[in-house]
């Protein structure tokens, strides 16, 4: 950061303790000012605070739980008004927010994956996913006046690839969880609740294919490139003219013992 811009990354690391070496490599290579992490998979007492601080991130906002889920914000600069948010009546460590540079609110969200069957009656995980998105959207819709003028960044693993070219094959994926019309409808409602800007698509509009996740089940992921764009960075419209750039760090998917997600990094003017 040169003082006029900052870099914010979002990354589902799929266990911070397993991926610590990758986080070190990523921080050294990209030097983001803020890293929003999903699937921390660690309780507070098991979180590697000292190792993270040694990377240059003394300010840590954590909402952890044992074994799965968990979100955190790592920052080089102070975080204020840290808040753990819960939706659908569950305390399952999926949303944390904090303010940085006094006036920009960062929301780090891990939307439920939703299981394999795209039917909310047959599959309660899918029902949870849809209700989670509805809950957040409804909150923002009902509190629009409160949020008016607030500068917000919303990022994380949303587990939905909303656009045709956010998946490797739109027609084949329509019945696959993450790209079904009902999920896209819910995520679109969430995005429209405060008229968020999809930063990646601002710089790389359709029909460019762009992904941030490649399945572990696919050993030939590089050659067949059957990916999905599940990781997102959105901003409120009042930050749109401050957006400088964004990139997807695909190379991390081929690092040793990788996450199936790769980091997305936006540069934004302060």
Give the CATH number of the domain where residue 217 resides. Answer: 3.60.10.10
Q: In this predicted structure, what is the pLDDT of residue 127?
A: 98
- CB neighbourhood size of 116 (10 A): 10
Instruction: Give the CB-side neighbour count of residue 15, counting CA atoms within 13 A.
Output: 10
Q: In this predicted structure, what is the pLDDT of residue 1?
A: 45
Mean pLDDT by 10 residues, the chain (270 residues): 85 97 98 98 97 98 96 98 98 98 97 98 98 98 96 98 98 98 98 98 98 96 97 98 98 97 97
Q: In this predicted structure, what is the pLDDT of residue 192?
A: 98
Q: In this predicted structure, what is the pLDDT of residue 2?
A: 55
Residue 88 is part of which domain span?
Answer: 5-269
Residue 129 to residues 83, 182, 185, Cα–Cα distance (Å) = 21, 11, 12
Q: Phi/psi at 197 (nearest 5 deg)?
A: -100, 125
Instruction: Tally the domains of the chain.
Output: 1
Instruction: Give the CB-side neighbour count of residue 42, counting CA atoms within 13 A.
Output: 19
Of 109, 87, 110, nearest in space to 98 by CA: 109
């Amino acid at each position: 950061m040169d003082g006029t811009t900052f870099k914010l990354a979002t990354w589902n690391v799929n266990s911070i303790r397993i991926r610590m070496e990758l986080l070190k490599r990523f921080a050294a290579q990209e030097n983001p000012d803020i890293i929003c992490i999903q699937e921390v998979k660690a309780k507070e007492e098991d979180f590697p605070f000292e190792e993270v601080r040694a990377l240059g991130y003394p300010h840590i906002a954590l909402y952890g739980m044992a074994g799965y889920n968990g979100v955190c914000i790592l920052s080089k600069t102070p975080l204020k008004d840290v808040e753990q948010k819960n939706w659908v009546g569950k305390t399952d460590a999926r949303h944390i927010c904090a303010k940085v540079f006094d006036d920009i609110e960062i929301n780090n969200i891990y939307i439920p994956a939703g299981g394999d069957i795209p039917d909310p009656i047959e599959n309660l995980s899918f029902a949870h996913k849809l209700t989670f998105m509805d809950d957040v959207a409804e909150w923002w819709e009902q509190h629009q006046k409160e949020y008016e003028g607030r500068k917000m960044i919303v990022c994380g693993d949303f587990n939905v690839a909303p656009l045709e070219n956010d998946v490797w094959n739109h027609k084949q994926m329509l019945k696959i969880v993450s790209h079904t019309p009902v999920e896209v409808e819910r995520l679109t409602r969430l995005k429209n609740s405060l008229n968020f800007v999809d930063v990646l698509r601002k710089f790389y509009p359709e029909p460019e294919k762009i992904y941030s996740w490649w399945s572990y089940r696919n050993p030939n992921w590089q050659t067949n490139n059957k990916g999905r764009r599940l990781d997102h960075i959105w901003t409120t419209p009042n930050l749109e003219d401050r957006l400088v750039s964004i990139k997807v760090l695909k190379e991390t998917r081929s690092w040793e013992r990788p996450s199936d997600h790769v980091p997305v990094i936006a540069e934004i003017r302060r």
